[in-house]
Amino acid sequence: MRKIRWNHILAAAVSLMIGAVSVLGPAGGLGAITAYAYTGPATVKAASLNVRSGAGTSYSSQGKLSSGTQVTVLGEQTGTDGQTWYNISYTGSDGAQRTGYVSAAYVQAAVSYSPDADFEAYLNAQGFPESYKNGLRQLHAQYPNWVFQAMHTGLDWNTVIENESLPPRSLVNTASISSWKSVEDGAYNWDTSTWTGFDGSSWVAASDGIIRYYMDPRNFLDETYIFQFLSQEYNSASQTREGLEAMVQGTFLSGSPGASGSGPSASTGGDDSTTGPGVVGPGASLSPGPMASISTREYNLVGDKVELVAPGASAQSESQTGSAQTQTSTDQTPSGPGTSQSGPGGTSGPAGDSSSATSSQEQSLSYVDIIMNAAAQSGVNPYVLASMIIQEQGSEGTSPLISGSYSGYEGYYNFFNVEAYQSGSMSAIQRGLWYASQSGSYGRPWNSVEKSIIGGAQNYGENYVKAGQNTFYLKKFNVQGSNLYKHQYMSNIQAAASEGAKLSQAYTASMKQNALDFIIPVYENMPEQACAAPTGDGSPNNKLSGLGVDGFVLTPSFSRDTETYDLIVDTSVSSVTVQATAADSKATVSGTGSIALNGDSTDIQVTVQAENGAVRTYTIHVARQSGGAVASGSLGQGTSSEASSPSGGGPGVTGPGASVNSGNTPGGSNVTVVTVTN
């Protein structure tokens, strides 16, 4: 594609006023805070952003704002955590105007855009929908040399969401709010009101709503998150050693392998996006520890097979992100987990001898030297490679996969966690180091840090970047090529945004003035406005565990997933008593009790409202006909449930063996008992 550059007169409407204010610290003491009073309109760019009573994460939260909320910045100041905070005014959920403090990292200040005929013509020529244009105009006003390419996928938006929603293609951390978690078949247990873990209890399937939010490019058209769409090809002119050094400052990658992988750890920043878009704030630590104690393993769908992939260290902050990710290589080796050969986990061991000590030549090379060399050989942006390593191994680099001292695999390294997934009796670490120890493609065995980084980079370059998955977004959401929705590098729904934010930090202000290429997907039949992130919390269980009509039998037999039932009674029956039990004690049931029957037919609606507000309605169609059923006293009282029982029938039971607990119904709440009137 021919790249187009535009020149225009930029009018940036920002006013700066320097002053000083004093605020009460968290403990009530006075602390001097410097204020840089930027004022003006702004937009929340986090999925759910805390509004605090003061400038800093130690202050109490007084509410949350969702992505896209318009606010007014009243002032700007350095908080008690050392980060920049905005004092804002906003409209509360009750319609009242309120003020508070939010992390500036999650608020996009408005930028004045002067009409640019050339740029408008370019947007039209690219075929960007109108809903994309405002964000792109804002970016163009700030960075007139940036090039935005519309990637027309030709895919229907709802079809894409449906496919990416299949567990375990998209996962969220189990600590996420409930509306971020899927309740689809296989993802949620309605009996126990718990989510199915895809790595013990650490990762669960993402909900349709949060997938829509993270897949909608319009939510990320700002100077931070746009980098998840940055083309990842290597460009020696714009991707420099100096830029890489600045990016890795404060991480183990600022050192050298000769220092045993150690280096200064990153400081913890003031991220305050409680359930934000998976992006760490400036200076935020990228990891709580090496591989997050293996608790952030994820899964890939390879054909019809679900493969567990090893984790990387996750971006941990108040945003609850976990950016664990490991690629599934297309390279296959003849032996692997489950073989009878010796080695940890009952698998074949290292292919040959390796030295557990780093060579003297490698000791003279810094990580920056190695990564720049890997970029040149693999054709992948070195900033991308560094971002991936930090995401995978943590900012301190203490993962067993890169220690070189893991028992049974001393002297082997796997910096990109290639093929590191649990298999049989092998842990993800063992599987990843086993792969690194084998002779084969990409310069294996990886018996040095340099070979591992270069080989892993070549693997990624060949199987992803050169295969069309050449952005962080496409690495997570494969919406191009012939292998749609498969061959996805990671399952964490937040990973692309998280990596993009880290990558944006690698580009200095002057570097961002260069002509950077961004590839932004466009789908068919997208909603008119960007998809908002869900914010609801609490149990989503709005199903019944039991439903019955005293003295009568419903058709069909009760099932929590069946929402419509029929009942034929005699014309002499003037009312019936409906009983229902919620599957979750936190849910509330209405519509039960004594129901009068009017005319020939009556529809009785029993509603279940979950703790999070979700409502489900069960309907009983009652028809009054001569010769119809009359109440049978032998059926007693209670609700019919799906549980089997050797004692047979009960009140309202329509199938053999169904059990009804009279007076002690499943769930133990929300049951009404009233006598049937004939």
**356: Cβ contacts below 8 Å, ≥ 6 apart:** 404, 405, 410, 411
Token pair 């420099």 is found at 240
- All structural domains of the chain with their residue ranges: 18-109, 147-330+342-524, 538-678
**How would you class 282 by CB atoms within 10 Å of its CB: exposed for 0-12, middle for 13-18, buried for 19 or more?**
middle
**613: Cβ contacts below 8 Å, ≥ 6 apart:** 536, 538
Question: SS3 letters for 43-109?
Answer: EECCCEEEEECCCCCCCCEEEEEECCCEEEEEEEEECCCCCEEEEEEEECCCCCEEEEEEEHHHEEE
Instruction: Look up residue 520 and give its DSSP letter.
Output: E
CA atoms within 13 A on the CB side of 291: 25
CA distance 207 to 179: 7
Token pair 């993402």 is found at 206
φ/ψ (deg, to 5) at 136: -70, -35
Residue 212's pLDDT is 97
Q: Which CATH number fits domain 538-678: 3.40.50.1820, 2.40.50.100, 2.60.40.2340, 1.10.20.10?
A: 2.60.40.2340
φ/ψ (deg, to 5) at 430: -60, -40
Dihedral sign, CA of 190, 194, 198, 203? Answer: positive
Residue 20's pLDDT is 29
CA distance 17 to 15: 7
Q: Which CATH number fits domain 18-109: 3.30.200.20, 2.130.10.10, 2.30.30.40, 3.40.50.300?
A: 2.30.30.40
Q: Write the single-letter amino acid at 669.
A: S
Q: In 358-461, which ranges are E strands?
A: none
**134: Cβ contacts below 8 Å, ≥ 6 apart:** none
Comparing CA positions, the residue from 512, 494, 459 lying closest to residue 206 is 494
CA distance 443 to 8: 49
Residue 597's pLDDT is 96
Q: Are strands 30-36 and 18-24 parallel, antiparallel or unpaired?
A: antiparallel
CA distance 109 to 111: 6
End-to-end CA gap in the chain: 80
C-alpha 165 chain-centroid distance: 12
CA distance 422 to 430: 8
- Count the Cβ atoms, other than its own, within 10 Å of residue 140: 23
Residue 362's pLDDT is 52
φ/ψ (deg, to 5) at 32: -80, 125
Residue 351's pLDDT is 52
| Alpha-carbon separation of residue 612 from 14, 174, 177, 539, 605 (angstroms) | 41, 17, 10, 6, 20
Instruction: Look up residue 419 and give its DSSP letter.
Output: T
Please list the ranges in the chain whose pLDDT falls under 50. Answer: 1-36, 259-271, 274-348, 352-359, 636-638, 644-678
- Count the Cβ atoms, other than its own, within 10 Å of residue 672: 16
Residue 74's pLDDT is 92
- Helix-, strand-, coil-residue percentages of the chain, each rounded to 5: 25, 25, 55
